[in-house]
Amino acid sequence: MATEQQVKELAYHLWEQEGRPHGMHLEHYYRALTSLRQREREQEAKGRAVPSLANIGISSSQMPFPAHAEPSKPKQRGGRRGKKPGGHA
């Protein structure tokens, strides 16, 4: 999370870039805050990104199942199949 000091420093930089206009401190502050939060979200998204198979050096021919198909799910055993409510078969 962006610190108050980081927000203030970026706001100051924005203020200087725009020629130090009078009365724009809140606009610069909130633009800085928004910018830093956006950067944080982008960094978090990069950390959670799942690489594609091509990017990690795996071709589709090396996959244990066809690329267009999903692996089969294991069959469930037991359970209450065929039983009626109330506990009687």
Concatenate the DSSP letters of all residues of 16-42 into one string: HHTT--TT-HHHHHHHHHHHHHHHHHH
pLDDT at 26: 94
The values of phi and psi at residue 61, to 5°, are -70, -20
Say which amino acid occupies 38: Q
Average pLDDT, the chain: 75
Residue 64: which residues within 8 A CB-CB, separation 6 or more? Answer: 71
pLDDT digits 0-9 by tens, 14-35: 999 999 999 999 999 999 999 9
Q: Categorize the per-residue pLDDT at 55 as very low, low, confident or very high, splitting at 50, 70 and 90.
A: low
pLDDT at 88: 59
Domain ranges of the chain: 4-48
Residue 76: which residues within 8 A CB-CB, separation 6 or more? Answer: none
Name the range with the highest mean pLDDT among 26-35, 58-67, 70-79. Answer: 26-35
